[in-house]
A and B are shown apart, each in its own frame.
Chain A
């Protein structure tokens, strides 16, 4: 009983830390998005609040909290309130299985860096949570009693369901190579060969491209942002949301971006590992300094990917809906299948 209590307490503390970091990173992503988009369009961007406008996200959140919360006439109040909660919760729940560094030792205790990073089914859990994510958006669209919202919600669900398939197949190739469903194992596998540089992006370039594309589609980011195409649908499934409920969708979008970047980093870009053996710069396995350094590396990789997401959004035009579906079903799915078959042959060939 006592042991279980301690385990729960440890998980709770880790969850609070990861949650705060995630929300903070969402705020930073919003600032980055506004600043980078401004630079891309030769504007200045937010520069009034704080130095370089750094306090802008805080001001935005305060504004959203103070705003009136409007529920449209004829909307289903219960589901209308629940939808943003589902969206945000799903984006956060994925972090339960994401490891952020190697385990560290304090005294004779081994502390895992993550809530449950050694879960044997880490990747499956991520896939399951992505499939639950459809509910938030579909229910938001339906319960708003607004045709634009409904269209946005339906588009988004169709898009997420279609791209989930290719995503799963791309992940399956990675699982074939590393022989494990656990995210920690996959990262360690990438580090243990080729002097720490056997990143899966080099052996799975096609898989990486497929996964990257589906990640864009799953997060509803441009060029796949049809669910919120401003010119056609006002702002899609969140048209009828205001105040902090809108804020939760907004947060969920940026948290999802960080989550997708983290998954791409873990699966294809070597995760938190240093590009060389940690003993080369005098860091021992299991010390908290190494844990911190690895976490910083992980965060840098995530942020580079987040910037890539932003860069793509402000440079690439949106797909048309039929183009989107054709790309998903007629290009990505066969390519992912081909990739899977080639990988299986490769693995079979090498293991014999």
Chain B
């Protein structure tokens, strides 16, 4: 096992343990907090795979944006922090349904992983320069339409949020 693998399994372990923490924690606050470590672990794996831009963006958007929102939601909702997740209205049917959905998603992912013909340009290079330039060029030439559509979607969401938050309407 070389160093690369050791580091990879370290991050993978962090991701899996904290993801289990998200699912199995009895308190909602701990779940939200475990998610923090999951995101950091995934960012670590991205960095390990030379996708440095993706790693930092992962931290900026998921940790700095989405998770802050979730934690605020949990913090500011009264009595939600001490809700016992397991003693709630969860019967056998819910467990069964959850298992079926998870298993089918797992099967789908495994099937995809094994059958898709992955395009791996430059996977042999051990280290190359940052992915920033290539990413920027591709975004503004080949995928410019997708880029613009995503931008407009975000703008609409932004305006919608401002409209909902306005007083007196």
B64 and chain A: residue at smallest CB distance: A131
Q: Which residue of B lies closest to A118 (CB)?
A: B130
Shortest C-beta distance, A7 to chain B (Å), equals 10
A235 part of interface (Cβ distance < 8 Å) = no
Bound-complex Cα distance A127 to B72 (A): 20
Q: Indicate whether A4 reaches chain B with its CB closer than 8 angstroms.
A: yes
Q: How far is the CB of B5 from chain A (nearest CB, A)?
A: 12
**Which residues from B are CB-within-8-Å of A131?**
59-60, 63-65, 68
Residues of B within 8 A of A119 (CB): 52
A76 at the interface (CB under 8 A from B): yes
Give B43's nearest chain A residue, CB to CB. A128
User: What residues of chain A lie closer than 8 Å to B59, measured between beta carbons?
Assistant: 128-129, 131-132
Q: Is residue A125 contacting chain B, with contact meaning CB distance below 8 A?
A: yes
Instruction: Mark B35-76 against chain A: 1 for CB-CB distance below 8 A, else 0.
Output: 010000000000000001100110110011100100110010
CB under 8 Å from chain B, chain A span 134-188: 134-135, 138-139, 142, 157, 161, 164, 181
Within 8 Å CB of A71, what residues of B?
A: none
Looking at the assembled complex, report how far the CB atom of B99 sits from the nearest CB atom of chain A, in whole angstroms. Answer: 30
A13 in the interface, Cβ–Cβ < 8 Å? Answer: no
Closest CB of chain A to B155's CB: distance in Å?
Answer: 14
- Asked, given contacts A4-B3, A76-B29, whether A124 binds B57 with beta carbons under 8 Å apart, the answer is yes
B56/A128 in contact, CB under 8 A: yes
A79 contact set on B, CB distance < 8 A: 29, 33
Cα of A164 to Cα of B33 in the assembled complex, Å? 22
Find out whether the CB atom of B68 lies under 8 angstroms from the CB atom of A121.
no
Contact of A128 among B33, B64, B71, B75 (CB under 8 A): B64
Q: Which of the residues B3, B60, B72 comes within 8 Å of A124, measured between beta carbons?
A: B60
Assess the A138–B65 pair: CB atoms within 8 A. Answer: no
Contacts between chains A and B (CB distance < 8 A), count: 55
Is residue A280 within 8 Å, beta carbon to beta carbon, of the partner chain?
no
- With contacts A1-B2, A121-B132 taken as known, whether A134 is within 8 angstroms of B68 at the C-beta atoms is yes
Main secondary structure of the interface of B (DSSP, over half): helix
Interface residues of B in 118-147 (CB under 8 A from A): 129-130, 132
For residue B3, which residue of chain A has the nearest CB? A4
Q: Please report the total number of B residues contacting A with Cβ < 8 Å.
A: 21
In the assembled complex, the Cα of A1 lies from the Cα of B6 at a distance in Å of 12
Residues of B within 8 Å of A132, CB to CB, are 59, 63-64
For the complex, give the distance between the alpha carbons of A130 and B33 in Å.
18
Q: Say yes or no: A161 contacts B132, CB within 8 Å.
A: no
Chain A residue, CB-CB nearest to B40? A132
Q: Is A124 touching B2 in the complex (CB atoms < 8 A)?
A: no
Nearest chain B CB to A91 CB, angstrom units: 15
Query: A157 is contacted by which of B52, B68, B129, B130 (Cβ under 8 Å)?
Result: B68
Query: Cα distance A52–B156 when bound, in Å?
Result: 60
CA distance A157 to B29 in the complex (A): 17
Please determine whether A135 and B52 come into contact, CB atoms closer than 8 angstroms. no
Check B64–A121 contact: CB distance below 8 A.
no
Among B3, B33, B68, chain A packs the most CB atoms within 10 A around the CB of: B68
Question: B64, A142: Cβ atoms under 8 Å?
Answer: no
Q: Please give me the residue from chain B that is nearest to A5 by CB atom.
A: B3
Q: Which of B1-28 contact A (CB under 8 A)?
A: 2-3
CB pair B60 A181 closer than 8 Å:
no
- With contacts A131-B65, A157-B72 taken as known, whether A120 is within 8 angstroms of B56 at the C-beta atoms is no
| A142 in contact with B60 given A120-B52, A131-B65, A161-B68 (CB within 8 Å) | no
Query: In the bound complex, what is the Cα–Cα distance between A108 and B72 (angstroms)?
Result: 53
Give the contacting residue for B56; candidates A1, A76, A121, A139; CB below 8 A: A121
Query: What's the Cα separation between A124 and B64 when bound, in Å?
Result: 12
Tell whether A120 pairs with B132 under 8 Å between CB atoms, given A142-B75, A161-B68: yes
Listed by A's residue number, 17 A-B pairs whose Cβ atoms lie within 8 Å are A1-B2, A4-B3, A76-B29, A120-B130, A120-B132, A121-B53, A121-B130, A124-B57, A127-B60, A128-B60, A131-B59, A131-B60, A132-B63, A135-B68, A135-B71, A138-B75, A157-B68
In the A-B complex, the 6 residue pairs with the closest CB atoms: A131-B64, A120-B130, A128-B59, A124-B56, A128-B60, A142-B75
